[in-house]
Structure 1
Amino acid sequence: METSQIALLAFVQGITEFLPISSSGHLILAPLLFGYELQSLAFDVAVHLGTLLAVIGYFRRELAAMAGAMITAPYGRGPLPAEARLGWMLVLATLPVVILGLPLKAVLEVLRDDDQLIALVIATTTIGFGLLLWWADARGRRERDEHGIGWRDALTIGLLQAVAIIPGTSRSGITITAGLLLGLTRRAASRFSFLLAIPTILMAGALESLDLLGGEAPVDWLALGLGAAISFVVAYLTIHFFLKFIERVSMLPFVLYRLLLGVVILGLLYL
C-alpha cells in the first residue's frame, strides 16, 4: 500500500467509526473513489484495532469503575450500583451481535464481491438511516442519561446494532438513533454507543483475525502499524470533540452529510 493510501484509509476509519456516518461504507467507498484496490483484511483489522484502543483509552476511568462495581456489587441485596448496572446493560446489548454476527457477516462477504451492488446498498442505507436519525433526533424526549437504560432498552439497541454490519448503516448511527428514540439525551446515547463499540469491535476484530490467520498472504507490518497509529489518534480526537459539542449542534449536520453522500453515490452510479 502507498503511504497516501494508508493515511487516507486510517483517517477515514478514525473519524467515521464514531460519527453516525458509517465507517464500513466509507472504507469501501474511499478506494473506489480514489482508484485504489480494496484494502486487505489485515489492514481493516489494524485500523479497527487503532479505534478500539482509542475508545478504551478515552473511557478508561469509566471502564475501570464499571469493572470494579460489577465484581464487588452485592448481588441480591438491593439495587445495583449505577456503574455495575451500566456494565451489565452493555453486556446485554452485545448479545444480539454475538448471535447474529456470523450470518450477517456472510451477507457482507457476498456484497463486497460486486462493486456496483455494494455502492447501491451504501447509498440506500446512508440515506434511509440518515433520515431515521433525523426523525429520532427531532422526536426523542432527551431526558435520560445512560445510567437509566434498562434491559429492554439494552436489547433494543443491541438488536439494531446487529443491522449495522450492512455497509452504510453506521454502527454508531443506528445505536445513537435507538438511544434517542428511547428517550436518552444526545450525549448519553452517544456515550452508550461508544462504550458498546468496545466489545463489538473486539469481537469483529477477533473474527477477522481468525480469517487472516487462515490465509497465506504476506503481511506489511509497517503499513499496519502506521494505519493503527493514525486511526488511534484521529478516533480519540473525534470522540472528544463529538461528545463536547453534540448537545449544541444536534444530529442535523450528520443527517445532511448522509443525504448528500447518498445522492452523490447514486449520481455516480446512474448518471
Structure 2
Amino acid sequence: MADACTGGIDTGFIALGYGKVAVLGVVQGLTELLPVSSTAHMRIVPALLGWQDPGSAFSAAMQLAALAAVVSYFWADIRSVASGAMSAIQRRDFRAWDLRFVVWIGLATIPGVLGGALLKSRLNTCGSSLRSLEVIGIACLVMGLLLAIAELYCRHRRVLADMTLLDAMIVGIAQVGALIPGVSRSGSSLTAALFLDLRREEAARFSFLLGLPFIALAGAFELLQLFKAHLGAQGWSILAVGLVVGAVSAFAAIWSLMRILERFSAWPFVLYRIVLGVLLLVGAKAGWLS
C-alpha cells in the first residue's frame, strides 16, 4: 500500500486510485452539504469496503467541490446580494440590508478562521486522534440530539430579511464546531439557524450563504498545504477526479436538502445521525470498523 503521508499531510486518497476516489467523491459530495457529516462517511465507507482511509486532506480539499455546488445552486441569491451591496456603496446607503449582509458574512467567517488556525496542527496530520471513530461517532450523536431539540422547541417563523448581525455571528461561531470531524459544517450551521427560529428552508439558505467564505478558505488552504507538501502529478489528477464528481453530487445534495426541508422537516437527518453515531461507536468497539 502506498505511503499515506506526503510531507506530513494525510494523503491516503492517492493509494486508492481514480475509480475508488470517484466513488468516494460521490459519497463526499452527497454528504458534504447534508447535515449528516461527510467525515463520518469518509471513515465508515472505506472501512466497510476494506479500502484505505482517503485522509483528512481529501475531505478538506473537497470543500471546493461543495463551493462550486453552493455557488451554482444559490447563484440568483448571490448575484442579488452582491449587486445590491454594490449599488448601496455607490449610493452611500450603508444601512442597506444587502450591504450589511455582505459585511455580516465577512464577520461571521472570522471565528472559523481563528479556530482553523488554532487546530491546524492536529486536523490533517497523519494519524490524527480527531479522526478516530469514537470522536466522530460521539459528534454524530451530539449533533443529532441538538438538531432534534431545534425541531422540537423552535417556532421556525423568521425569514432571511429578519436576520441581524448577532444572528450571523451565532451561526458563524457554530461553524467552528465543524472543525471537529463528525460535527458537519452544514449540520452545525443549520442547527444554529434553526435555533434562531428561521423557517427550515430559510435556515438552510442562511447557512449556505454565510458559509461561502468558510468553505472557500478551507478548500483553498488545503490545496495550498498539498502544494507545499509537493503532491505529485498523479495525486493532483486523482484529486481532480474526486472534485469533479463531488461537485455534481453536492449539487444534487443541496437540491434534495431544500426539498426535504420545504416539504417535511429535519427529522430524517436527526434519525440518520443518531443511527450513524451508534453504528460508528459499536463498530469501533466490536472491531469490525478500524
TM-score normalised by the chain length of structure 1: 0.90
Give the corresponding residue for 2:84.
Answer: 69
Amino acid at match of 1:178: A
Give the corresponding residue for 1:147.
Answer: 161
Alignment of 1:43-82 (within 5 A): 43-44=58-59, 47-74=62-89, 77=93, 79-80=95-96, 82=97
Distance change in 2, residues 1:250/1:103 (3 Å): same
Amino acid at match of 2:221: L
The more displaced of 103-112 and 148-157 is 103-112
What's the offset of the Cα at 1:62? 1.5
Counterpart contact for 2:66–2:247, Cα < 8 Å? yes
Question: In the aligned structure 1, how far is the partner of 2:33 from the partner of 2:247?
Answer: 12
Question: In the aligned structure 1, how far is the partner of 2:221 from the partner of 2:185?
Answer: 17
Match of 1:185 among 193, 199, 205: 199
SS class of match (1:168): coil
Alignment of 1:152-167 (within 5 A): 152-167=166-181
Alignment deviations for residues 136-190 of structure 1 (CA, whole Å, 9 cap, x no partner): 1111111111222111111111111111110111111111111111111111110
Question: In the aligned structure 2, how far is the partner of 1:234 from the partner of 1:110?
Answer: 27
After superposition, the CA RMSD in angstroms is 2.2
SS class of match (2:52): coil
Question: In the aligned structure 1, how far is the partner of 2:62 from the partner of 2:284?
Answer: 28
Alignment deviations for residues 102-134 of structure 1 (CA, whole Å, 9 cap, x no partner): 11333424694349x710000101001110001
Question: In the aligned structure 1, how far is the partner of 2:163 from the partner of 2:57?
Answer: 36
Counterpart contact for 1:25–1:168, Cα < 8 Å? yes
Alignment of 1:121-132 (within 5 A): 121-132=135-146
Match of 1:101 among 102, 111, 116: 116
Amino acid at match of 2:281: L
Amino acid at match of 1:135: I
Give the corresponding residue for 2:245.
Answer: 230
Give the corresponding residue for 2:185.
Answer: 171
Counterpart contact for 1:70–1:83, Cα < 8 Å? yes
Counterpart contact for 1:46–1:225, Cα < 8 Å? no
Distance change in 2, residues 1:249/1:4 (3 Å): farther
Question: In the aligned structure 2, how far is the partner of 1:265 from the partner of 1:175?
Answer: 23
What's the offset of the Cα at 1:206? 1.9
Distance change in 2, residues 1:69/1:146 (3 Å): same
Question: In the aligned structure 1, how far is the partner of 2:187 from the partner of 2:283?
Answer: 24
Give the corresponding residue for 1:263.
Answer: 278
Distance change in 2, residues 1:261/1:111 (3 Å): farther
Distance change in 2, residues 1:111/1:146 (3 Å): farther
Distance change in 2, residues 1:40/1:100 (3 Å): closer
What's the offset of the Cα at 1:235? 0.8
Q: How many equivalent residue pairs?
A: 269
Amino acid at match of 1:95: I
Structure 1 residue 86 corresponds to structure 2 residue 101: yes
Alignment deviations for residues 24-76 of structure 1 (CA, whole Å, 9 cap, x no partner): 23223332332222225664455332221111111112112211222221576
Give the corresponding residue for 2:5.
Answer: none
Distance change in 2, residues 1:30/1:105 (3 Å): farther
Question: In the aligned structure 2, how far is the partner of 1:41 from the partner of 1:263?
Answer: 22
Counterpart contact for 1:86–1:147, Cα < 8 Å? no
